[in-house]
Structure 1
Amino acid sequence: MSNQPTVTINDYVGFDTVSKQMERKFLKRGLNFNIVLVGESGMGKTTLVNTIFAGHLVDSHGRRSAQEQLRKTTEIIPTTQIIEENNIRLRLTVVDTPGFGDQTNNDGCWVPVIKYIKDQHAAYLERELKPQRDRSINDTRVHACLYFLNPGTKGLRPIDIEALKRLTEVVNVIPVLAKSDSCTIEERAIIKKRFKDELNQHRIMVYPYASDEDDEEDLALNLRIKELMPFAVVGSEDVYSENGVPFRGRRHAWGVINVDNEEHCDFIHLRNFMLRTHLYDLIEITAQRHYESFRTQQLRQIKELRAAQAQAQGMSQQQIAPMQNMMHKQQA
């Protein structure tokens, strides 16, 4: 910002209504939000998404029986739904990745996921570079990756380390500790600390990132989020009732877990983080950080390719010129 002095005006002009104008345009256009779910089968990936959005939006693509064969490779299965809340229309795409980490040899199981994310960047770039662009480009870029950690491993596996390193380069990764009701409160605290220490040890930068634009409120909020990570979550679409009050939960022999109770799990913190405080930032960071990095790299490659083609054509002309001169002399 410049250091020019602020001028006070005496009469009401009306440009302060620009926020309402922007809101009206925003409401008409709607919002795209795209999530990819990464984790081995049985971690409750689709159940968690359905719990976050309080509706059955996505069907499970995992194995339904022991007789069903394991998938040989990681599959990419996107599901798109349009949901509306208080006149805000959200086009939600959830990309499931059944088969990830389910094999004996999981080398390269993250490759299809990375390819899908980059393909969406490439598709957006292609639409952006068209001579006659659409006024509003359909945004299929992945804005968030929920990476499901298995509490039974009690630490990052080699596949987790490699996959997380690759994913954090291209997408905003949010780590979650799946099915945390399988541990005691004490075990959960120990496992979360171990995961957090290993993420720092391997220099894996998960979302949210530090920014020079953050004010004190943003910094304090992001610090609280970092302390909670990985989010110890429990997802459920089953509804129970206590004192006439319905709630979503999971029944155990010793009682029922209320997924919305922050004393039982971190689900409420994850939902608030993704939807109520950082939804727009996830979209903005995807455009400014991950897509911009991809765009710069692609345009640089195009420039280098054109330069190489021009150089090759120039060399060809130099090789042809002596032959042409000789032919002219012979004809003369």
Structure 2
Amino acid sequence: MTEVQPTPLNQYVGFDSITRQIETKLLKRGFQFNVMVVGQTGLGKSTLINTLFASHLIDSKGRVDAFEQPRSTTEIHPVSHLIIENGVKLRLNIVDSPGYGEQINNENCWDPIIKYIKDQHSAYLRKELTAMRERYITDTRIHCCLFFINPTGHTLRPIDVTVMKKLADVVNVVPVIAKSDSLTLEERAQFKARIRDEMEYHDIHAYPFDSDEFEEGERELNERMRDLIPFAVVGSERNVVIDGKTVRGRKNRYGVINVENENHCEFNQLRTFLTRTHLQDLIETTALKHYEAFRSRQLLALKESSAKQQQAQQQQQMQQQANGV
């Protein structure tokens, strides 16, 4: 295709206001973001989500006190909230998944999680193919999956590798090391390096992805984010006082962990990544990569099924004619 050269204008026309028009409509309608948390029971999944969005959005299912056994999530449970910041409305869907790998027999324990993600794609496709479809289809597709890794300091469990690999095929996976304050800085760096090596060895592609469409600045930003993955995080809804200043953190016998102090953990980098730099790209990547792949497979299967059915009908008609029916 021949490249079209820009034509100079003799006076101001006004179509440059289209960006403000789009912004006004989008602000009125609001935005939808769906995030799923996956990991073992007791890794602080609910606490981290509440810390990320600075609000009590989901109840923790971990220990209430030191003598109580952690309570596990027994089924996939979405929780919806409408949060507003500076006039921007975000409909936030948080999907808490069952703790996996905790039974005697863990065969296919990841199936309910994968099925839920695919079911949301299927529901969206059905609405999209409806003759009288909605003007704005409610989007329940999972835009981001936070995969929580136990801070053992050693390696990933085989089941972690399996689940992460299967998730990466259908959703944007962002791995995080939970409760990273249990590791020293040296242990944390070594653990992160081992996990990245394992992900590369097993061909696990976490978000963000490479693309030729990105400009140089976007590619550099994504490269910096990939260097941080998995994010070593600490979550806390409790306020503690450090040098007369109230911060969110965890207090232990050795001192206070400030979750927003980048010398203590990478919570700030994760929050910036999810909400301030890559929120829209997570939504777009879900639609253009994961959902589009699902949609193509479904439509091809539907086409093949229809062709086989038509062929069977033709054979039946030919058989009837041959029998003189």
Q: Distance in 2 between matches of 1:143 and 1:223?
A: 20
1:272 corresponds to 2:265:
no
Partner of 1:124: 124
Alignment CA distance shift 1:106-1:201 (3 Å): same
| TM-score, with length taken from structure 2 | 0.96
Alignment of 1:1-332 (within 5 A): 2-62=2-62, 75-152=75-152, 154-324=154-324
Offset from partner CA, 1:119-172 (integer Å, 9 cap, x none): 000000000001011110000000000000111162111101111111000000
Give the number of equivalent residue pairs: 324
Displacement, 1:215? 1.1
Gaps in structure 2 of 5+ consecutive residues: none
2:41–2:71 contact (8 Å) kept in structure 1: no
Gaps in structure 1 of 5+ consecutive residues: 326-332
Residue identity over aligned pairs, in percent, reads: 52
Displacement, 1:184? 0.8
Larger radius of gyration: 1
1:74–1:109 contact (8 Å) kept in structure 2: no
Alignment CA distance shift 1:159-1:63 (3 Å): farther
Displacement, 1:240? 1.2
Alignment CA distance shift 1:70-1:247 (3 Å): closer
Displacement, 1:68? 6.1
Alignment CA distance shift 1:2-1:156 (3 Å): farther
Alignment CA distance shift 1:58-1:2 (3 Å): farther
1:70–1:103 contact (8 Å) kept in structure 2: no
Paired letter, 2:296: T
- 1:324 alignment partner, SS class: coil
Alignment CA distance shift 1:29-1:318 (3 Å): same
Displacement, 1:322? 2.6
- 1:175 alignment partner, SS class: strand
2:80–2:92 contact (8 Å) kept in structure 1: yes
RMSD value, Cα: 1.7
1:35–1:142 contact (8 Å) kept in structure 2: yes
| TM-score, with length taken from structure 1 | 0.94
Paired letter, 2:273: F
- 2:324 alignment partner, SS class: helix
Q: Distance in 1 between matches of 2:241 and 2:211?
A: 43
Q: Distance in 2 between matches of 1:10 and 1:244?
A: 61
- 2:249 alignment partner, SS class: strand
Offset from partner CA, 1:89-127 (integer Å, 9 cap, x none): 111111111332222332211110000000000000000
1:38–1:96 contact (8 Å) kept in structure 2: yes
Paired letter, 1:91: R
Displacement, 1:63? 6.3
- 2:323 alignment partner, SS class: helix
- 1:300 alignment partner, SS class: helix
- 1:55 alignment partner, SS class: coil
- Bigger mean CA offset, 3-12 vs 208-217: 3-12
- Bigger mean CA offset, 140-149 vs 212-221: 212-221
Paired letter, 1:104: I
Displacement, 1:243? 3.3
Paired letter, 1:30: G
Paired letter, 1:90: L
Alignment CA distance shift 1:254-1:153 (3 Å): closer
2:153–2:183 contact (8 Å) kept in structure 1: no
Q: Distance in 1 between matches of 2:170 and 2:323?
A: 51
Partner of 1:328: none
Alignment CA distance shift 1:129-1:208 (3 Å): same
2:180–2:265 contact (8 Å) kept in structure 1: yes
Paired letter, 1:250: R
Displacement, 1:321? 1.1
Q: Distance in 2 between matches of 1:303 and 1:38?
A: 35
Displacement, 1:37? 0.5
1:174–1:206 contact (8 Å) kept in structure 2: yes
Q: Distance in 1 between matches of 2:257 and 2:164?
A: 30
Q: Distance in 2 between matches of 1:252 and 1:142?
A: 36
- 1:188 alignment partner, SS class: helix
Paired letter, 2:21: Q
